[in-house]
Amino acid sequence: MNSYLLTQDTASINQQNSVDCLEAGQVLFFPEYFFSRIDQTLMTDSILDGSHKNVSYDPRTKKLGGFKKEQTNLQAKLAQFMQGYADFSYNLIQSALPSYIPHLQWGRTSFRPAQIDGRVSSKRKDDTRLHVDSFPSTPVNGLRILRIFCNINPIDEPRVWNVGEPFAKVLEQFAPQIPEYSKWKAKVLKMVKSTKTLRTPYDHYMLHLHDKMKLDDKYQAQVKKTQIDFPARSTWIVFTDQVSHAALSGQYLLEQTFYLPVQHMAQPDQSPLNHWQKIKYQELTL
């Protein structure tokens, strides 16, 4: 069994073990548990509007983006489909990680019908390169990024990932290269609307870490990595701000993002925020 995976059966979940392993940087893997309420007319990348690689949905506002608005009935179908997946994800967290439920904050739902392999992009936007997640325009202020993925590929194609070294090792490699935080620059970014809120020191360091990892060709080539093939009709949960990962190939993926405050983890010392504060010896979320 892959040491990065904790394989789970929804009929007999060890909830405490799930939390401990997830927070330690493992992936919770549900090999035969998946979202099945799928409208087959949506299983094509032709629904994308041409300027986005994903369809996005906000469960709080019910707002959709990234799809061809001129296609008849597409919006209604997508809204029902993606709200269904958002509910599916929340229910899975209730079963596997119930201690998180009172503290979770909703993020976006994403449908990714395009093939990853062969997609042209800049290195910084290339998700086939190992990285930890950080959002340039949406500061999280120390919140954990918890994501639920589901491979719904109709022709049994796996979603192929690489998983890299532990977060502490990543920091050891890249933290010395990252420039110090500037509150003045953060204010300018907010003023020109490059960020939705003020970029905090934590977000500054995490975004630079994301970029340094992706832009370093030598690191990408030489770092130890493990390939994981997530089969069709499977689901997995991971803290993507902690687990170094890359998506190499696959098509037709659903993803739900939640945010979790560090203080509501079982082991807050495992958080990226805590790792950074040990390096910087200061509060990073202000």
Q: Tens digits of per-residue pLDDT, 153-174? A: 999 999 999 999 999 999 999 9
Q: Tens digits of per-residue pLDDT, 191-203? A: 999 999 999 999 9
Beta strand 253-260 with 105-112 is: antiparallel
pLDDT of residue 280: 85
Name the residue range of residue 42's domain: 5-280
231 lies in a domain? yes
Q: What is the average pLDDT score of the chain?
A: 94
Does pTM surpass 0.85? yes
Residues of the chain with pLDDT under 50: 1
CA atoms within 13 A on the CB side of 58: 6
Q: For residues 82 and 57, is the Cβ–Cβ distance under 8 A?
A: yes
245 lies in a domain? yes
pLDDT of residue 1: 45
286 lies in a domain? no
Q: For residues 224 and 165, is the Cβ–Cβ distance under 8 A?
A: yes
Take residue 190 and report the two structure tokens written for it.
């907010």
Give CA–CA dist 242/246, Å, rounded: 13
The domain that contains 187 carries what CATH number?
2.60.120
285 lies in a domain? no
Give CA–CA dist 37/39, Å, rounded: 7
120 lies in a domain? yes
Q: Which one, of 8, 54, 3, lies nearest residue 237 by Cα?
A: 8
Number of domains, the chain: 1
Bridge partners of 27? Answer: 5
* Location of structure tokens 């997946």: 85
